[in-house]
Structure 1
Amino acid sequence: MPALFRHIIFLFGFLALTSIAHTDANPGAKVNSQAVVQHYADLAYAVYSDAETSARQLQIQLNRFLEAPDQQGLIAAQKAWQTARIPYQQSEAFRFGNPVVDDWEHQLNSWPLDEGLIDYVADDYFAALGNIGGDLNIIANPTINLGGEIIDASIISAELLRSLHELGGSAANVTTGYHAIEFLLWGQDLHGHELGAGERPYTDYSQGAACSNGNCDRRAAYLRTVASILIDDLSYMVKQWAPNQAGNYRSQILAMDKQIVLARMFNGIGSLSLGELGGERIKVSLEANSTEDEHDCFSDNTHWSHYYNGLGIENVYLGRYQRLNGTTLKGPSLSDLVRQAKPEVDRKTRQTLSATMASLKVLTDTAEAKDKPMRFDMLIAEGNQRGEEILSAILKDLVAQTRAIESAASTINIDPTATGL
């Protein structure tokens, strides 16, 4: 899909805005903007803390697997990756308005990626048009010739991988983050629009004669390194939202004009909802029938990533987040502010957002069905009427909640584009 079209979709989401919510407005004492902003920072701290914790659990499983590679260990590592996606995908509701997040997130969640930059690929693999890094294969090449510039890749270090990330200014040159790890755990999904995810053999990490596809030592080194980078990046963001730390981002927004922070909150959930989730992640894939535009394309985990994006938006509007340990953090919210001004507007907003979550549940139920499951890459296949119905229903609900969120923001005199940026 042309970059210009993607940009137009994003701008539409930026200007139109949207959100998600269920029921549960706080019916208690009256709240003010200061309390809502304070709780918003608490939510961000909790979500990013869970993301870091789950990434550390992922690292533990990766290290166990790499110590003695077998199929059971590979599956355990894959499940740990899927668990780690749960809090991170909810954290994306803090994008599109908080510059500390926007300047950072590409290190963790850039997609789609040209996997030929990282490792071996199928013979019919095609990199993005004009991408100079699309087939460099870092794992197979201790020395990389980049247009006459020789890069020493003999040691797969964090410095090397960070230097090659988005090489040449191409967003497809992804060397770090969740999707790099995903590719290293699953490999390419060669099933097209048929059922099945990537099928990387665990022997790709076996040492000595048992090694498949060569360079198993370097592949293991890459996996260990990229997991460490992920944790470093998440740790940085946790510190940015941590309480009682002078000079971090949390301290900045707590001292900021609260109208600006509320605008950032509305802008963030709106842009994620329609511009990113509805546009980039669903509409583009559906219209192009393109598995390359599937978000979690190697693991076929896309339905859950979309669901947790939706849940993240709901979290911010309702001021609620269920942590990985099962406890629920809840406090003053945008919903409270809107309800205090016009209860019927808040009620309508929550109704439309509940409808979106219900549509997203249809997506996950369909993907996880015991009898004839249809994953996202199957749903976007040309001629799949059921898939088009499911995804079109989600898009319709995203548009409806966009209008509701616009109305909610207007009700409390917030211009979501007035973010002070």
Structure 2
Amino acid sequence: MKRAIYLFMSTFVFFSCSSQEQVTNKEVVENYSNIVYANYQDVHTHAIALRKVIISFLENPTESGFAKSKEAWILARKSYGQSEAFRFYGGPIDGENGPEGQINAWPLDEAYIDYVAAENTNVNIINSPEKFPEITTAFIASMNEKGSETNVSSGYHAIEFLLWGQDLSDGPGAGQRTYLDYIEGEKGSAKNADRRKKYLLETVNLLIKDLNSVMAAWEPNQQNYRAKFVANPDQSIEKIVSGLGKLSKGELAGERMFVAYDLRSKEDEHSCFSDNTHNDIVANAKGIENVFLGKYQSFTVENNISGPSIFDVLKQKDQVLADELKKTIATGIAESKKIEAPFDQQIKEESGRAQIAKTIGLFRKQGDLLAATASKFGFQFDPEAI
């Protein structure tokens, strides 16, 4: 009898302690919102820094100033790439009226914005002053994807093209635009340097405006999207998990990697002008891990976050699935870091293609595992439907 009582009490204590440690959907959603806001703060800060460097360059165009502008763009992509884990569920960034198309649309038809090799320089926006006399943020926004999805006039990749120019090399090497393109009448420069300067500056201004609107939607203690998101934790968990799954399989493994890999096409890689695609892939993969584990390592120390996560709730439902997904995500990041630069050369070489294919497989697997996770939360989604 004493032994039976002891076992009963031990069991009672075990379950009592376990219940106290249960992580709730609401706690996960609140921590997720903190991560989103901190990440977008970094994204916005990096965009402001990019504008500062570009303004300095435009006021006095030099080769070193041009190089610094490119460095600032690459840094800005690191934080933005992680933030793409907050997409694919109709949130502030890519909902019906979201600015994602103005922020990160690609692929981009270079001839829509500026001169390109073997093309008439008078058929694009910058080199058509009679047709497009004033270049403003509103004008650039109005021209984005006008007439075609590849008629991209704004965002990170428009800025990338204006800094690097076309990548015309068959071998390693990014675009070779010269800083002289920003000096009117300079020997060796392209025409309409002043319009090009104006276009670059206004595109950065538009980017900051759009990023600010997204960041404001996630600001705490406001009557905004975040307030509604936190108030509906079960619905929001569905958005979080499906967003991660769609980014993993449909977007990252599919559109951003497999298309270029399958076609061996540099025109279909994400950051084709700067050869920054390999870093974009790692940043996206890291963003997925941030959300799944409920952690964010900020670019500014005071914004570091760690709290209740999808992983915590999932392991309460299925420890084996939770551990497998955690391991798959970590392995995907590790393997993505092994993809050497530049990506457009790796899709041609046997060893590079093998590494890319291996990484694609891992991202597809984690997308499927996230779909399996969804079933544990009582809903379904297609990870390839982006």
List gaps (5 residues or longer) in structure 2. 1-19
State the partner residue of 1:40.
32
State the partner residue of 1:212.
189
Matches for 1:13-412 after TM superposition, within 5 Å? 29-102=21-94, 103-123=98-118, 136-144=123-131, 153-168=132-147, 170-192=148-170, 194-210=171-187, 212-246=189-223, 248-256=224-232, 258-326=233-301, 328-363=304-339, 366-367=340-341, 375-381=342-348, 384-412=349-377
Mapped to 1, the partners of 2:215 and 2:117 lie a distance apart of: 38
Q: Which residue identity is paired with 1:31?
A: V
Query: What displacement does 1:406 show?
Result: 2.5
> Percent identical across equivalent pairs?
40
Mapped to 1, the partners of 2:61 and 2:311 lie a distance apart of: 49
Per the alignment, in what secondary structure is the counterpart of residue 92 of structure 2? helix
Q: Which residue identity is paired with 2:287?
A: G
Query: What displacement does 1:29 show?
Result: 3.5
Q: Which residue identity is paired with 1:182?
A: E
Q: Which residue identity is paired with 1:80?
A: A
Mapped to 2, the partners of 1:332 and 1:416 lie a distance apart of: 23
Q: Deviations over 1:185-244 (max 9, x none)?
A: 00000113x100001111111134457111111100011110100000000001001011
> Are the equivalent residues in 2 in contact too, given 1:306–1:360 (CA < 8 A)?
yes
Q: Deviations over 1:125-148 (max 9, x none)?
A: 9xxxxxxxx98311111122xxxx
> Are the equivalent residues in 2 in contact too, given 1:263–1:416 (CA < 8 A)?
no
Mapped to 2, the partners of 1:201 and 1:225 lie a distance apart of: 20
Cα 1:322/1:88, change in 2 over 3 Å: same
RMSD: 1.9
Mapped to 2, the partners of 1:275 and 1:245 lie a distance apart of: 33
Query: What displacement does 1:342 show?
Result: 2.4
Mapped to 1, the partners of 2:185 and 2:122 lie a distance apart of: 25
> Are the equivalent residues in 1 in contact too, given 2:244–2:370 (CA < 8 A)?
no
Q: Which residue identity is paired with 1:409?
A: A
Mapped to 1, the partners of 2:356 and 2:312 lie a distance apart of: 31
> Are the equivalent residues in 2 in contact too, given 1:319–1:334 (CA < 8 A)?
yes
> Are the equivalent residues in 2 in contact too, given 1:262–1:414 (CA < 8 A)?
no
Mapped to 2, the partners of 1:60 and 1:186 lie a distance apart of: 18
Q: Deviations over 1:25-51 (max 9, x none)?
A: xxx943201111111111111111111
Mapped to 2, the partners of 1:156 and 1:104 lie a distance apart of: 19
> How many residues are matched?
360
Q: Deviations over 1:279-300 (max 9, x none)?
A: 0011111111111101000000
Mapped to 2, the partners of 1:293 and 1:53 lie a distance apart of: 29
Per the alignment, in what secondary structure is the counterpart of residue 93 of structure 2? helix
Query: What displacement does 1:344 show?
Result: 2.1
> Are the equivalent residues in 2 in contact too, given 1:337–1:412 (CA < 8 A)?
no
Per the alignment, in what secondary structure is the counterpart of residue 392 of structure 1? helix
TM-score (norm 2): 0.89
Mapped to 2, the partners of 1:211 and 1:204 lie a distance apart of: 8
Cα 1:322/1:314, change in 2 over 3 Å: same
Mapped to 1, the partners of 2:240 and 2:150 lie a distance apart of: 29
> Are the equivalent residues in 2 in contact too, given 1:117–1:135 (CA < 8 A)?
no
List gaps (5 residues or longer) in structure 1. 1-27, 126-133, 145-152, 368-374
Greater shift in the superposed pair: 153-162 or 324-333: 324-333
Mapped to 2, the partners of 1:84 and 1:29 lie a distance apart of: 38
Query: What displacement does 1:98 show?
Result: 3.1
Per the alignment, in what secondary structure is the counterpart of residue 182 of structure 1? helix
Q: Name which one, 1 or 2, has greater alpha-carbon Rg.
A: 2
> Are the equivalent residues in 2 in contact too, given 1:259–1:414 (CA < 8 A)?
no
> Are the equivalent residues in 2 in contact too, given 1:266–1:416 (CA < 8 A)?
no
Q: Which residue identity is paired with 1:89?
A: G
